Amino acid sequence: MRSLLFVPGDSEKKLEKGLASGADVLLIDLEDSVSAERKPAARQIAADFLKSNRDKNSQRLFVRINDLASGLADADLEAVMPSLPHGILLPKSNSGKDVTRLSAKLNVHEAHAGAPEGSTQILAIITETALGTLSAASYPDASARLIGLTWGAEDLSAVIGARAVRDDNGRYTDVFRLARALTVLGASAADTAAIDTVYINYKDDAGLARECAEAERDGFTAKLAIHPAQVPVINAVFTPSAEAVAQAQKIIRAFADDPAAGVIGIDGLMFDRPHLRRAERLMGRVGAV
């Protein structure tokens, strides 16, 4: 899982384009990109799209429902769960308890649909409220369904009254840098994937590539996208290089050959157990790709 592309749930045309984008995950959106009056139509369009395309290719189809406090989430789930999406993206999650609540709802819908319990995965956006941002450490053991945590700056900026999320140099200001860092730490604590937020200037490939590289450096393994043109850039950056894979394989082999070793020398460099864990995580990403 490298790229996750948002697609408005009320547009058949954009949903079809999403299938051809090369994104690893399509996020069929019933929340921010769909107006209130279009939500009933979007639910039906999303359900039909899922039914027609769920098993046709390797893309995973997730649905971003409305948040649990909106009064709309249950109607979203009622509409789309009979079509068995691969997963649900939960916005405005305030803590791991929200993921647990969503998981309980999914248990019921899976039972009604005749699907195995736990087959629907969960991604959570954890920094769209102040409480959610400060609760990043609450996701361990929230649900076995949880496969990733991600963050967002725009909703948080509205909540706290920030006039901008970036400074004059295009860098996130301190509050949003904190939200980003807490997402990485929260994901690590929950032993799940850390997914970077969207880059809103979809015509700036150089800026997107730079932000992807910084995110990959810091521990993110994937990034949200808002336009199909962003997907190739994201996939390129988050696909481990041949050199990185070869190095990881050397480290794993060396420790396998000497299981009792705490430190091993390879090509003049010293590697210890944290390096082994990092190599194993990278190879896990390769397997997922």
Q: Which amino acid is at 24?
A: D
- Burial code (b: 16+ CB inside 10 Å, e: under 16) for 42-67 equals bbebbbebbeebeeeeebbbbbbbbb
Q: Outline where the chain has alpha helix (H).
A: 12-19, 39-53, 73-80, 96-113, 130-134, 154-160, 174-189, 205-218, 231-238, 242-257, 273-288
Residue 155 marked as a ligand binder: yes
Q: Which residues contact 206 (CB under 8 A, 6 or more apart)?
A: none
Instruction: Supply the angle between the helices 273-288 and 242-257 in degrees, to the nearest 10.
Output: 130
Residue 128 marked as a ligand binder: yes
Helix, strand, or coil (residue 8): strand
Residue 10 marked as a ligand binder: no
Q: Which residues are annotated as a binding site for Mg(2+)?
A: 128, 155
Q: Which residues are annotated as a binding site?
A: 64, 128, 155
Q: Which residues are annotated as a binding site for substrate?
A: 64, 128
